[in-house]
Amino acid sequence: SGGPDDMPAEIWEKVKNHPCYSEEAHHHYARMHVAVAPACNIQCNYCNRKYDCSNESRPGVVSQKLTPEQAVKKVVAVASEIPQMTVLGVAGPGDSLANPKKTFETFRLLQEQAPDIKLCISTNGLALPDYVDEICQYNVDHVTITINMVDPAVGAKIYPWIFWDHRRITGYEAAKILHERQMLGLEMLTARGVLTKINSVLIPGINDQHLMDVNREVKKRGAFLHNIMPLISEAEHGTVFGLTGQRGPSAQELKAVQDACAGGANLMRHCRQCRADAVGLLGEDRSDEFTLDKIEEME
């Protein structure tokens, strides 16, 4: 089939032109993210809010935050310059579904102005069950959920708090709610036929032994890909985990966990952890060519 690992043919049919899912397509089709979602409803210990959501992004550069109108202007400008542009994602810099008005307004405007562009979102999953209807209403093709644990005891080491049901919740209880909402959201998306990929951040000493369990649980609930990404730990990223420095995994450690999970949910190994405002083919980032100033000049 040419698909990654043993992906079923009907799923491959849906994703083969998607740069993030097909090793082949990512040389020929472009994607972009628009940074319309600044707020977040949870705290990950590995996050530094000065930069983009670590779900899907490289540290170091702050994305230019856009209104939905600005975002759509940018998408239209990019699509006219980069004809391979097929996929638009909302991936932060916070959480797409902690900013539902902005995320879905962007999608609504895009459906009017550029109906051929496929839509995707990534989310930590906390708010996901509340927005499955909207996700289906706007024909969002793919959803990525970042799931780092399926055991709240592990989760409590990763997430100091969540904001849910109008209050801040901490500790084990917070991780348990997040876990339950992630599993429910994944099940609801699977039931509605929305392709769902799982990202996990490999955090040595915290969840490295645990990601096989994550792999098994997400596969059981219908995730079509499981992407295990390394924690990016650089001084300027401010990865703290309390106050002790938390290192990222070595290449060998990453590969060992990916290999241990092989045969479970299909693994995607070419995700580049793009910025929340990434533009272009995977592996290239042309976001600097499409700042708001430049887009306004193009008009």
Min dist. Cβ of residue 128 to ligand SF4 (A): 12
Min dist. Cβ of residue 143 to ligand SF4 (A): 11
List the one residue from 75, 231, 282, 295 that touches ligand SF4 (CB under 6 A).
282
Q: Kindly indicate which of the ranges 36-44, 148-156, 211-219, 253-261 contains the residues binding ligand SF4, using the contact rule CB under 6 A.
A: 36-44
Q: Kindly indicate which of the ranges 39-47, 163-171, 202-210, 285-293 contains the residues binding ligand SF4, using the contact rule CB under 6 A.
A: 39-47
Q: Are 95 and 35 in contact (CB under 8 A)?
A: no
Tell me, what amino acid is at 14?
K
- Could you check whether the bond before residue 93 is cis, i.e. omega within 30 degrees of 0? yes
Min dist. Cβ of residue 151 to ligand SF4 (A): 18
The smaller minimum CB distance to ligand SF4, of residues 4 and 94, is found at 94
Min dist. Cβ of residue 200 to ligand SF4 (A): 13
272 binds ligand SF4 (CB under 6 A): yes
Q: Kindly indicate which of the ranges 133-141, 217-225, 238-246, 268-276 contains the residues binding ligand SF4, using the contact rule CB under 6 A.
A: 268-276
Q: Are 48 and 243 in contact (CB under 8 A)?
A: no
Min dist. Cβ of residue 40 to ligand SF4 (A): 3
Selection from 167, 248, 165, 243 nearest residue 206 by Cα: 248
Min dist. Cβ of residue 135 to ligand SF4 (A): 17
Min dist. Cβ of residue 16 to ligand SF4 (A): 15
> How many chain residues bind ligand SF4 (CB under 6 A)?
21
Work out the end-to-end distance of the chain between its first and last CA atoms, rounded to an integer number of angstroms.
43
Residues from 73 through 92 that contact ligand SF4 (CB under 6 A)? 89, 92
95 binds ligand SF4 (CB under 6 A): yes
- CA triple 174-177-180, angle to 5 deg: 150
Token pair of 58, please? 């490289």
CA distances from 248 to 147, 201, 256, 259 (A): 17, 10, 14, 18
The smaller minimum CB distance to ligand SF4, of residues 162 and 295, is found at 162
44 binds ligand SF4 (CB under 6 A): yes
Tell me, what amino acid is at 239?
T
Q: What is the largest CA-CA distance in the chain?
A: 53
3-class DSSP state of 267: strand
Q: Are 40 and 263 in contact (CB under 8 A)?
A: no
Selection from 195, 217, 179, 94 nearest residue 144 by Cα: 195
Q: How many CB atoms lie within 10 A of CB 288?
A: 10
Contact residues for ligand SF4, defined by CB under 6 A: 20, 31, 40, 42-44, 47, 53-56, 89, 92, 94-95, 124, 271-274, 282
